Amino acid sequence: MWLKKILKAATVLTIASAVHPAVAAPSFDKTPDLPEGFGFKTSWFAVKTQEPMHVAETLGLKDLQPANWASGIAAAYSFNNKPNGDRYVFISPPVKGWVLMVSLALPYPDRRSQGRNADIDGQFNSMFGALVKSFDEVQFFGSYRVVGFEAWARAKGGEIERLFCFSDGDVYENTGPQTSVEKQLKFPNLSAMTPEEATSAIFSMAKKNEDEREHLVASGLSFKEAYRKISERQRGPIPSEGDATAIAGHWSVDPTRIEELKLSPGVGYVAVLPNQSQK
């Protein structure tokens, strides 16, 4: 239900921008409202603070405007925000001690030796680094099933503990040892591997699981029974939709379930995230 509301609102913003290209920004509703869920087909930072304005100032975001959850999330999900290609980011009111900053256009880590998008990786490092220097704990998450994108990162006390990013069948980033949450959720242990080594390990495990499943089926088990037997030991090694939000739920806030937290109505901010291709 929440995703339908987001996509409907985002469509309205997109159409408004297309019909009125000279308008610099849509009008944002400043009426306090209850939190709107998000988490799929987008990326977000979770910053341990009670001050959303401090998050915006730390990143030097411009054109800051108050916006409630409904209009802010709609802007963050919108594809055509501004004529020059700039997109919006929504900075939420505090949620259980965390400020969430969400946008389709957030950069992500990419440390591959081949095919690396150095510009996007550099932009991520700049944003993540600025937040890490200013706040005690900072997290990053991303999920976009169309390209198999799943990402999570965490830094505490100024030190980066974990960075992981997977997309298009490749591990883009794999820094830091496996966390206790990843182990609890039965992710493969990719500690100390380069992105290329981690990619190879993931697909080697997937092939091993497939071969074992075929062997079990040949021995008389149904496909469903064979699948269940293998998954009881370890989940499928290839990241899938829901992984980032599951980890977020353990580390800070699962935004897909934010409406269950029974928070008070609030107002956050919308700011401009400059068009990365123009940098």
Q: Is residue 230 part of a domain?
A: no
- Region 207-219: what's the mean pLDDT? 77
Q: Model confidence at 210, in pLDDT bands (50, 70, 90)?
A: confident
Distances from the Cα of 204 to the Cαs of 138, 207, 217, in angstroms?
Answer: 32, 5, 20
Q: Model confidence at 155, in pLDDT bands (50, 70, 90)?
A: very high
Q: Residue 21 has which token pair? A: 């290209």
The count of structural domains within the chain is: 1
- 225 versus 4: which is more confidently predicted? 225
Quote the pTM value.
0.86
Q: Is residue 82 part of a domain?
A: yes
Q: Model confidence at 83, in pLDDT bands (50, 70, 90)?
A: low
- Note whether 276 and 105 are within 8 A (CB): yes
Lowest mean pLDDT across 8-22, 61-75, 104-118, 221-235: 8-22
| Containing structural domain, residue 100 | 2-193+239-278
Q: Residue 30 has which token pair? A: 């400043």
CA dihedral (115, 116, 119, 125) in degrees, to 10, reads: 170
Question: Rounded to an integer, what distance in angstroms lies between the CA atom of residue 148 and that of residue 177?
Answer: 22
Lowest mean pLDDT across 16-25, 43-52, 113-122, 160-169: 16-25
Q: Is residue 139 part of a domain?
A: yes
Q: What percent of the chain has pLDDT over 70?
A: 85
Q: What is the pLDDT of residues 25-43, one digit of tens each?
A: 567 999 999 999 999 999 9
Q: Is residue 227 part of a domain?
A: no
Q: Is residue 204 part of a domain?
A: no
Question: Rounded to an integer, what distance in angstroms lies between the CA atom of residue 259 and that of residue 45?
Answer: 18
Chain center to CA of 87: 16
What was the pLDDT predicted at 228?
A: 74
What was the pLDDT predicted at 279?
A: 37
Q: What is the pLDDT of residues 103-113, one digit of tens each?
A: 999 999 999 99
Question: Rounded to an integer, what distance in angstroms lies between the CA atom of residue 251 and that of residue 24?
Answer: 37
Between helix 223-233 and helix 195-218 the angle, nearest 10°, is 140
Lowest mean pLDDT across 60-64, 197-201, 275-279: 275-279
Task: Label residue 72 exposed, middle or buried (CB < 10 Å: 0-12, 13-18, 19+).
Answer: buried
Tell me: pLDDT of 13 over 60.
Answer: no
